[in-house]
Amino acid sequence: MESRVLSRAAILSSLPHLRKLPRESAANASLVSVKAIGSVADGGNLIWGRQLRPALCSPALKKEVVLLRPCLAAASSPAEGSDSAGEAKVAPVGFFEKYPALVTGFFFFMWYFLNVIFNILNKKIYNYFPYPYFVSVIHLFVGVVYCLVSWTVGLPKRAPIDSNLLKLLIPVAVCHALGHVTSNVSFAAVAVSFTHTIKALEPFFNASASQFILGQSIPITLWLSLAPVVLGVAMASLTELSFNWTGFISAMISNISFTYRSIYSKKAMTDMDSTNIYAYISIIALIVCIPPAVILEGPTLLKHGFNDAIAKVGMVKFITDLFWVGMFYHLYNQVATNTLERVAPLTHAVGNVLKRVFVIVFSILVFGNKISTQTGIGTAIAIAGVAIYSLIKARMEEEKRQAKAA
């Protein structure tokens, strides 16, 4: 009996796949796994400003350890409740990996929902508190506080910034601040739907800047697709019931500002994640927006602006409205950035066009703005032109990406 046991032990020990993995080998395998996922962690998808946890196991580790599935840390002994000795429980697939389409759809929904709520609440505030410079500062201030709190708790971890990166981000932030303020001036002066119709001209300004400032060749097909955009905006402007020059010019300045923001953004491409970049841009933009608000609206606000608003809606509603409009502004921008990181350029283009349609339709329904037949037709033509332009440009970018990959 004793000799039989010894002989079986000898046979079992001779089998290579049943021997324990040496500590050094296991450690090396773990290091391989960390290095393999390092690139994913550095540029991974972001959810509400947080990075998704990368896969815990490496294919290299799986190949080396045959019996321990899916990785060393997941193996369980019979004492821990495995069904049979020597078998390991397979780690469950996470929800984000199992249903990526549902997650992306949820991001689009939140992007549109937050954007619509922001526009509606923003316009309601202007109906009893028409001070767009101060409200713009509140938008950025609430967002900056949100970012500082997020950094404090480590969600996400604050990325370091140096003087060189700061120099690159300052022009982007200045253009962001100017575009944001002028957009709010337009929102306060005219109907939300009309401001968004004018802002549909932004692709035209982008194409013009690329052609005449950056020296990039724009295909004739892109220029032709912009013709209905210009025509539609012109038709809508001629018969818009809420038209005034302050709202129109401010929206046009906003288009130009955001065009230059996109130009400077290309020069400021860094390895920093979008959540941290947007946080730094918000901080700089806040600093830029405070002086004009104090100079242009400060005396009026102190004299009767705050008192009039409080008399109309009360102190509590006034403060809560300002807080929530700032929160929705920051969240919709942050979720939009995170959403666009998850999708292809073509989906991005379609999503942007649909977002503008949602905002225009909901603003008309909520505020009951009366629009003429010509304004409605012009708005539809402009949005259709933006859609065609976005689809053509997205296809061109995808072809360039595939050509580089090949």
Cis peptide bond prior to 156, omega within 30° of 0: yes
Could you read off the pLDDT of 339-355 as tens digits, one per residue?
877 776 667 667 777 88
**What pLDDT does 4 receive?**
46
Q: Is 284 exposed, middle or buried (0-12, 13-18, 19+ CB in 10 A)?
A: buried
**What pLDDT does 100 receive?**
75
**What pLDDT does 345 receive?**
60
Could you read off the pLDDT of 268-304 as tens digits, one per residue?
767 788 788 889 999 999 999 999 999 999 999 999 9
Element (H or E) spanning 370, and its range?
none
- The mean pLDDT value for 204-218 works out to 83
CB 196 within 8 A of CB 228: no
Give the Cα separation of 5 and 3 in Å (integer): 5
Is residue 403 scored above 50 in pLDDT? Answer: yes
pTM (two decimals): 0.70
**What pLDDT does 269 receive?**
66
- The mean pLDDT value for 89-107 works out to 70
Could you read off the pLDDT of 120-141 as tens digits, one per residue?
999 999 999 999 999 999 999 9
Q: Is 80 helix (H, G, I), strand (E, B) or coil?
A: helix
Give the CA-trace dihedral at 72, 74, 80, 84, to 10 degrees: -80
- The mean pLDDT value for 245-265 works out to 90
Tokens 């306060």 locate to 188
Is residue 214 scored above 60 in pLDDT? Answer: yes
CB 232 within 8 A of CB 381: yes
